[in-house]
Amino acid sequence: MRRVEARFYEAIPPDPDAFEEALNRQASYRAAFARATPKAPVIIEHVQPRRRQAVKHACVRRKRSGKTADMRIRPRLAPVSRSAFAGFRFPPDVIVLAVRWYLRFGLSYRDVEELLTERGIKVDHVTIYRWVQRFTPLMAEAARPCRHTVGDRWWVDETYMKVAGRWCYAYRAIDQFGQVIDVFVSPHRDVKAARRFFQQAIGTTKATPVEVVIDLAATYPVLLEELLPAAWHRTEQ
């Protein structure tokens, strides 16, 4: 009897009319089972009316909601993004201020440490170094939507500088608003490095300049004729 009931309640149709037909079939099953088992009619007489009413109400609720038993899925909670400052001892305002001072004013880590000490915040310069390494990319990405639209007049130049103890060339382009468009570091100053720099700048900004101001480097004229033939190429010392 319990197996018959289990199969019946698992296959409850969402339509009340179809439910009545299934219930009538179940009643005939119960009657046949009752004739074979003497004690079954007493159990059916007291239990069946309450189960019939409860199951019918459940069917009506499923039809109103438009969901069947197979469609009932437990909702999943959206993953909560962990804060980028989680696990750090100092408040986010202090960390952001220290990183901003270092990036904006060209201070050393010990200078930032001294400025914070004057304001009652004792932090080691090594900790500030770790903050800068950790949060500089995040701050740059967060500030990207606030940037100017890249202008159509570019000033391109390169300089010789030491990075991590090695001398290399840093290519940089700025627009008419003074905004840095892109920076590229290469160990060589040749056509290949200049081509990679321009391709990276154009691909990142999705902008094509109408005027490019360059220095007297011999690598630029031929390259610009190849990549930006429609732009005006102006040379300055």
* Cα distance between residue 50 and residue 38, in whole Å: 21
Note the pLDDT of residue 41: 42
Q: Specify the residue for token string 């608003």.
A: 177
CA separation for the pair 186, 192 (Å, rounded): 10
Burial class (CB in 10 A: 0-12, 13-18, 19+), 98: buried
CA distance 99 to 134: 10
Domain 153-235: homologous superfamily in CATH = Ribonuclease H-like superfamily/Ribonuclease H (3.30.420.10)
Distance of CA 80 to the CA centre of its chain: 12
User: What pLDDT shows up at residue 234?
Assistant: 83
Burial per residue of 184-209, b for 16 or more beta-carbon CB atoms within 10 angstroms, e otherwise? bebeeeeeebbeebbebbbeebeeeb
pLDDT tens sequence for the chain (237 residues): 444 444 444 444 445 555 456 556 656 656 655 555 544 444 444 445 555 565 556 555 555 555 544 444 444 534 434 578 888 889 999 999 999 999 989 899 999 999 999 999 999 999 999 999 999 888 887 877 777 788 899 999 999 888 888 899 999 999 998 888 889 999 988 999 999 999 999 988 888 899 999 888 888 888 888 888 888 888 875
| 160 CB neighbour count, 10 Å cutoff | 9
* Contact between residue 153 and residue 213 where contact means Cβ atoms under 8 Å apart: yes
Q: Give the per-residue pLDDT at 110.
A: 95
Report yes or no on whether pTM surpasses 0.85.
Answer: no
Task: Take residue 122 and report the two structure tokens written for it.
Answer: 């004792």
What residue spans define the domains of the chain?
A: 2-71, 92-146, 153-235
Tokens 């339509």: give the residue. 15
In contact, 65 and 90? CB cutoff 8 Å: no
